[in-house]
């Protein structure tokens, strides 16, 4: 049996059995380190196959036509957790290329979070440049519909895809995420530093917020701060954690900021959380 077929069959079973988990990586304010929100990331460990990378099973689900059911499962889990975070924290969730060219995407996303009870204004959907360019006209309509219902949209992995800068004017993005390939070299390669500086200046002119991805060292964080970048994520600030750990991170932040006054934070044991 081919590996791809084996993974597909196992993944279909895992979705039905609710075995695909969601972990969350904190997105922070680079000035004070406070958590602004979390990006939801799919995690799957099969009993026979072991850990399977999202880079393998997400494209497979798209190719074989069951990405919608996987997305529904993951977004429902993520939203169930996020609705108990403080109301000023957002949930970032990756939208697949197949969904970006599906006119029903806006309705489907809203239906899922409405059933869960998450405010649409707290959801940010991430799309990639490559996905956006597969059918720009339909993608633009989907993005407009998402904005209409209050969902924000971020352009992920900026600098690695196929879009032109002119596309940033045509699509109503709220945020732009600088790809980790630039951040990893920002302290040792002048060209990477200049590229990041140029992206930040451009986004300021376009009134776009920016998140730097893949921050692994304090030196990188300091460089980004000096260039005017306010938000970021990466191992330096925390790896992806399960839902229960997000509450511990939030409570620790609350305790540091307000002493013991963290009563409004909901703890995992108080609700039926995933």
The residue among 159 and 217 whose pLDDT is bigger is: 217
Would you place residue 163 in the very low, low, confident or very high pLDDT band (cuts 50, 70, 90)? low
Q: Give the H or E element holding residue 184.
A: none
3-class secondary structure, 127: strand
How many CA atoms lie less than 13 Å away from 98 in the CB half-sphere? 14
pLDDT at 162: 58
Q: Where are the domains of the chain?
A: 3-242
pLDDT at 128: 85
- Tokens standing for residue 53: 């990378």
The residue among 166 and 66 whose pLDDT is bigger is: 66
CATH class of 3-242: alpha beta
pLDDT of residue 161 exceeding 50, the answer is yes
Would you place residue 268 in the very low, low, confident or very high pLDDT band (cuts 50, 70, 90)? very low
Percent of the chain with pLDDT over 70: 90
Mean pLDDT over the full length of the chain: 89
Distance CA 96, CA 125 (A): 10
How many CA atoms lie less than 13 Å away from 87 in the CB half-sphere? 4
Distance CA 77, CA 85 (A): 14
């Amino acid at each position: 049996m081919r590996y791809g077929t084996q993974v597909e069959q196992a993944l279909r079973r895992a979705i039905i059995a609710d075995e695909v988990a969601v972990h969350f990586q904190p997105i922070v304010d680079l000035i004070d380190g406070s958590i602004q929100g979390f990006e939801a990331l799919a995690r799957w460990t099969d009993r026979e196959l072991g850990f399977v990378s999202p880079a393998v099973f997400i494209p497979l689900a798209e190719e074989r036509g069951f990405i919608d059911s996987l997305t529904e499962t993951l977004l429902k889990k993520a939203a169930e957790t996020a609705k108990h975070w403080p109301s000023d924290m957002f949930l970032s969730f990756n939208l697949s290329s197949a969904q970006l060219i599906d006119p029903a995407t806006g309705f489907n996303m809203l239906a899922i979070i409405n059933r869960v009870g998450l405010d649409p204004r707290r959801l940010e959907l991430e799309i990639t440049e490559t996905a956006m360019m597969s059918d720009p006209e339909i993608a633009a309509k989907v993005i407009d519909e998402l904005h209409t219902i209050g969902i924000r949209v971020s352009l992920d992995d900026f600098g690695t895809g196929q879009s032109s800068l002119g596309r940033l004017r045509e699509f109503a993005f709220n945020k732009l995420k600088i790809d980790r390939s630039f951040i990893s070299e920002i302290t040792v390669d002048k060209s990477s530093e200049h590229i990041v500086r140029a992206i930040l200046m451009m986004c300021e002119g376009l009134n776009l917020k920016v998140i730097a991805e893949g921050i692994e060292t304090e030196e990188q964080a300091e460089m980004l701060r000096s260039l005017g970048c306010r938000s970021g994520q990466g191992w330096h600030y925390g790896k992806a954690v399960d839902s229960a750990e997000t509450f511990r991170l939030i409570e620790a932040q609350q305790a540091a900021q307000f002493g013991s006054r963290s009563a409004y934070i909901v703890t995992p044991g108080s609700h039926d959380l995933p």
